Amino acid sequence: MKFSLSCGDVVPGCVARFESDSRDDVLGQVGAHAVAHHGITELTPDVLRSVESNIALSA
Ligand SMILES: [Zn+2]
């Protein structure tokens, strides 16, 4: 099982993709990427909800 997220699903135009077998790990990668590349200093509940709803699960 792999959890994956395309940042572009949350931030239109971004081509970054994250994948891990740990959902928390994907969230951690996204958080670091958001800070470094999108100037987001804090994952607010709204952002987090958007990110979580776009995480895809594949076998
Ligand atoms: Zn991005």
CA 9 / ligand 1 centre spacing (Å): 9
Task: Provide the domain count of the chain.
Answer: 1
Chain segment 8-52, per-residue pLDDT in tens: 998 899 999 999 999 999 999 999 999 999 998 888 899 889 999
Report the alpha-carbon distance of residue 21 to residue 11 in Å, rounded.
23
CA 1 / ligand 1 centre spacing (Å): 23
pLDDT of residue 32: 93
pLDDT of residue 40: 87
Higher-confidence residue of 42 and 4: namely 4
CA 34 / ligand 1 centre spacing (Å): 6
Residue 7 structural domain: 2-58
Residue 57: Cβ-neighbour burial (10 angstroms; 0-12, 13-18, 19+):
exposed
Q: Where would I find the beta strands (DSSP E) of 1-59?
A: 2-6, 17-20, 56-58
pTM, full prediction: 0.86
